[in-house]
Amino acid sequence: MPIFSRRWLLPVLCFINAAACAAETPPSSERFVARAVTSLTSGIRYKFGGTDPDSGLDCSAFIALLYKDAGGGDLPRTAREISEVGAHIDAGALQPGDLVFFRNTQGGIAHVGIYVGGENFVHASRKHGVIYQSRLNEPYWKSRFKGARRLPQS
């Protein structure tokens, strides 16, 4: 009698295939970060209030698009509303995939980016007009840093 009879072959192959697929599929935060880094060369333009990648995105629409593409679902429309989603994270505990928020001159949250590690974050930049990578420890961003959140993972 063979080691595996035919009735066991299909379940074993299904298990092996499922395990291999699970190992190849990164967690949502890794997909989120990978899409953010890839977007740096995408040519997507910044557009205030923009929600369409073809005509331009603002910071919150950019983050919402990346999160949805990574399998995370829908996010609210504005940076302020997004800042209420997920768990608060101290700046010293940032991990790639966490969102970083910045205040405007009135103190309210007006900008969001995705932390990609090494003090870097990717965001839709009004000043640069495109998807851009900046450093959290630059004086401009450091002085405006308002907080960070970790979004739910899929």
Catalytic residue among 21, 88, 123, 128: 123
User: What whole-number distance in Å separates Cα of residue 112 and Cα of residue 146?
Assistant: 10
**129 near 64, Cβ under 8 Å?**
no
- Here the tokens at position 120 are 């870097």
Contact assessment for residue 87 and residue 149, using Cβ atoms and an 8 Å cutoff? yes
Active-site annotation holder among 14, 21, 111, 128: 111
Annotated catalytic residue 88: no
Helices (H) and strands (E) in the chain, counts: 5, 8
Catalytic entry in 21, 59, 88, 128: 59
CB 33 within 8 A of CB 116: yes
Which positions are catalytic? 59, 111, 123
